[in-house]
Amino acid sequence: MIFNKTHLTAICGIIIIFCVGLVFFFSFAEPYGDGLERTMEEGGVEEREPAYSAPLDYGDNYFTALLMGIIGFVLVLFILLFLTKIMRKKDETRND
Amino acid sequence: MHIPDGLMEPIIWGIGWIIALVFVALASRILNKRIHEKQIPLMAVLAAGIFVAQMINFPIGGGTSGHLIGAALAAMLLGPYAGLIVITTILIIQCLIFGDGGITALGLNIVNMGIIGCFVGWGVHKIFPEKYRTFGIFLGSWTAVFIGAFICALELAISFSLSNGAFGIPAHIAVPTMLGYHAIIGIGEGIITMGIISYLSHTSPDILKMPKITIRTSKEVAVE
């Protein structure tokens, strides 16, 4: 088993903190751009058409952002587990 | 600080891609040899946690917000090479799946947030002796954000000069504005990183004692 009880508790904890954190985000920070976006505004630069259109976006309401956050969380978790497992496997094969 | 498509001069984002590929290949090679079974779930959980933390922006005043980058945190917990792989994975998923950061600028985003974030954050916090480690964690995280923003401002300024204004932002706007906002965002990064590491040192001290994949261990590999 890759995840023990501590890891599963950590995963639940992160998702709960995310659910609460998103409430604060939509209450206090949602309309504001980040440091780079503000620099672009002050430099009079507008965002151009992206070279690649992604299939999803974070959404502009609480529930979409929550859903996207959970999808992203699971994707990152499993892609990284997969990548690191491949690395370990290669290493074990080399040591054999 | 995710750079979108169309903001940087192609030569600049091309150089960003080359630097990013070299560092990520080096980090993967070192990780391949040094990764420990126990680090795998921690790396995955930490990466997923940083991904959701990056979605939550906090207001910093003046109609601006900031969010955790998490590169210094990942580097301090796992070592800079594993940290770089964590941040690179997050940036790739953000770009390809959620359209956060441009695909042409992905290399530059890996340089500014991943490479600089991990190596500067790790390096600065290691300068401090154990007694001042908490301050070192704060300063390492703050410096990682500040230097990353400075390099991003330089990329914007050079893009502007090379393209005669078609791309980028003039230096007299890009440098002070990026540094001003990120000096404050860095304080948030420092407080969050310090809080997480101090929480872990009380609840799971074994995580902090886990072997880190560092520059020294890579030399050891070379000696072997």
Closest chain A residue by Cα to residue B102: A50
Instruction: Kindly state the average pLDDT of the residues B71-83.
Output: 95
- Chain pair A-B, CB pairs under 8 angstroms: 204
Regions of chain A short of the pLDDT cut 70: 1-2, 89-96
B190-203 pLDDT, tens per residue?
A: 999 999 999 888 88
Whether residue B153 has pLDDT greater than 50: yes
Integer Cα distance of A65 and A27 in angstroms: 13
Contacts of B47 in chain A (CB under 8 A): 76-77, 80
**Lowest-pLDDT choice from A12-21, B42-51, B71-80, B207-216:** B207-216
Calculate mean pLDDT across residues B129-141: 93
Per DSSP, which regions of chain B are E strands?
A: 58-61, 64-66
Question: Is the pLDDT score of B217 beyond 60?
Answer: no
Nearest to B90 among A3, A6, A76 (CB): A76
- The pLDDT-based confidence of B93 (bands split at 50, 70, 90) is very high
In a mutational test of the A interface, the residue from B97, B185, B189 whose CB has the highest number of chain A CBs within 10 Å is B97
B221 pLDDT above the threshold of 50:
no
A43 Cβ contact partners less than 8 Å away, ≥ 6 residues apart: B156, B169, B170, B173, B174, B177
Q: How many residues does chain B have?
A: 224
ipTM of the complex: 0.90
Which pLDDT tens digit goes with each residue over B114-128? 999 999 999 999 999
> In terms of Cα–Cα distance, which of B78, B71, B93 is closest to B43?
B78
For the cut 50, the answer to whether the pLDDT of residue B224 exceeds it is no
pLDDT at B13 over 50: yes
- A82 interfacial to chain B (CB closer than 8 Å): no
Among B42, B43, B57, B173, which would you mutate to test the A interface (most chain A Cβ atoms within 10 Å of its Cβ)?
B57
What confidence tier does B222 reach under pLDDT thresholds 50, 70, 90?
Answer: very low
* A36/B52 touch (CB, cutoff 8 Å), yes or no: no
Q: A50 — alpha (psi -120 to 50), left (phi > 0) or beta? A: beta
Lowest mean pLDDT among B57-61, B99-103, B140-144: B57-61
Q: What kind and span of H or E run contains A34?
A: strand A33-34
Rounded Cα gap, residues B49 and B188, in angstroms = 17
Distance from CA of B156 to the nearest CA of A (A): 10
Residue B204: pLDDT over 80: no
Question: What pLDDT does A94 receive?
Answer: 56
Q: Which pLDDT belongs to residue B218?
A: 45
Q: Which member of A33, A54, A77 has the closest CB to residue B99?
A: A54
Can you give the pLDDT at residue B213?
A: 65
For chain B, list the domains and their CATH numbers.
10-217 (1.10.1760.20)
For CA atoms B214, B219, B222, B224, the dihedral sign is negative
Nearest CA in chain B to A85: B40
Whether the pLDDT of residue B98 is over 60: the answer is: yes
DSSP string, A38-68: HHHHHTTPPPPPPSS--S----SSHHHHHHH
